Amino acid sequence: MLTRRHFIELAAATAAVTGFAGGLTRVAAQQKLSQSDLLKFDAKGQVTLLHLTDIHAQLKPIYFRPPSENFGVGAFEGIPPHLVGEQFLKHFGIKAGSPYAYAHTMLDYVNLAKTYGRLGGLDRIATLVNAIRADRGENKVLFLDGGDTWQGSYTALKTKGQDMIDCMKLLKPDAMVGHWEFTYGEARVKEVIDSLGFPFLGGNVVDNEFEEAVFESTKIFEKGGVKVAVIGQAFPYTPIANPRWMFPKWSFGIRPERIQSHVDKARADGAEVVVLLSHNGCDVDQKLATVVNGIDVILTGHTHDSIPVALKIGKTLVLSSGSHGKYLGRIDIEVKGGKVVDYNSTMIPVFSDAIEPDKEVAAKIAEVRAPYEKECNRVIGKTEGMLYRRGNFNGTWDDLICEGMMAERDAEIAISPGFRWGTTLLPGQDITIDDLYTQTGMTYPNVYRLEFTGAQLHEILEDVCDNLFHKDPFYQQGGDMVRVGGLGYTCAPKEDKGKRITGMTLLKSGKPIEGDKKYVVGGWASVNQGTQGPAIYDLMEKYISEKKSIAPIKNETVKIVGM
| pLDDT tens across the length of the chain (563 residues) | 334 444 444 444 444 333 333 445 666 665 578 999 999 999 999 999 999 999 999 999 999 999 999 999 999 999 999 999 999 999 999 999 999 999 999 999 999 999 999 999 999 999 999 999 999 999 999 999 999 999 999 999 999 999 999 999 999 999 999 999 999 999 999 999 999 999 999 999 999 999 999 999 999 999 999 999 999 999 999 999 999 999 999 999 999 999 999 999 999 999 999 999 999 999 999 999 999 999 999 999 999 999 999 999 999 999 999 999 999 999 999 999 999 999 999 999 999 999 999 999 999 999 999 999 999 999 999 999 999 999 999 899 999 999 999 999 999 999 999 999 999 999 999 999 999 999 999 999 999 999 999 999 999 999 999 999 999 999 988 789 999 999 999 999 999 999 999 999 999 999 999 999 999 999 999 999 999 999 999 999 999 999 999 999 888 899 999 88
Residues 249 and 197 in one domain: yes
**Amino acid letter, residue 346:** T
Residues 471 and 346 in one domain: no
Residues 384 and 484 in one domain: yes
Residue 95 belongs to a domain: no
Extended strands (E) in 208-278: 218-223, 226-233, 250-251, 273-278
- Distance from C-alpha of 265 to C-alpha of 232, rounded to nearest angstrom: 14
Residues 322 and 396 in one domain: no
**Residue 6, pLDDT score:** 47
**Residue 31, pLDDT score:** 56
What's the CATH number where 250 sits? 3.60.21.10
How many domains does the chain contain in total? 2
For 47, phi then psi, to 5°, come to -130, 135
Cis peptide before 493 (omega within 30 of 0): no
**Residue 102, pLDDT score:** 97
**Amino acid letter, residue 407:** A
Q: Please compute Rg for the chain using Cα positions.
A: 23
Residue 126 belongs to a domain: yes
What's the CATH number where 449 sits? 3.90.780.10
How far CA 446 is from CA of 152, 352, 397, in Å, comes to: 16, 35, 18
Residues 325 and 415 in one domain: no
Widest CA span in the chain: 70
How far CA 436 is from CA of 187, 247, 317, 366, 481, in Å, comes to: 27, 27, 37, 20, 21
Residues 215 and 251 in one domain: yes
Which residues on adjacent β-strands are paired with residue 332? 48, 344
Residue 68 belongs to a domain: no
- Distance from C-alpha of 159 to C-alpha of 165, rounded to nearest angstrom: 10
- Distance from C-alpha of 109 to C-alpha of 394, rounded to nearest angstrom: 17
Sequential DSSP letters for 123-159: HHHHHHHHHHHHHH-GGGEEEEE-S--S-SSHHHHHH
Residue 198 belongs to a domain: yes
Residue 397 belongs to a domain: yes
**Residue 32, pLDDT score:** 74
Range of the domain at 400: 377-560
Residues 40 and 124 in one domain: yes
**Residue 16, pLDDT score:** 37
- Distance from C-alpha of 329 to C-alpha of 51, rounded to nearest angstrom: 5
Residues 127 and 241 in one domain: yes
Residues 272 and 349 in one domain: yes
Residues 240 and 328 in one domain: yes
User: Which residue, 368, 387, 421, sits at the end of a domain?
Assistant: 368
- Distance from C-alpha of 463 to C-alpha of 445, rounded to nearest angstrom: 22
Residues 357 and 500 in one domain: no
What does pTM read for this prediction? 0.94
Residues 340 and 439 in one domain: no
**Residue 29, pLDDT score:** 63
* One-letter-per-residue 3-state SS of 436-492: HHHHHCCCCCEEEEEEEEHHHHHHHHHHHHHHHHCCCHHHCCCCCCCEEECEEEEEC
**Residue 28, pLDDT score:** 62
Q: For the chain, what percentages of helix, strand and coil (3-state, to nearest 5) are there? A: 35, 25, 40
Residue 382 belongs to a domain: yes
User: Which residue, 339, 368, 397, sits at the end of a domain?
Assistant: 368
Sheet holding 141-145, edge to edge: 175-176, 141-145, 47-52, 327-336, 339-349
Residue 284 belongs to a domain: yes
Residue 466 belongs to a domain: yes
User: Which residue, 334, 368, 402, sits at the end of a domain?
Assistant: 368
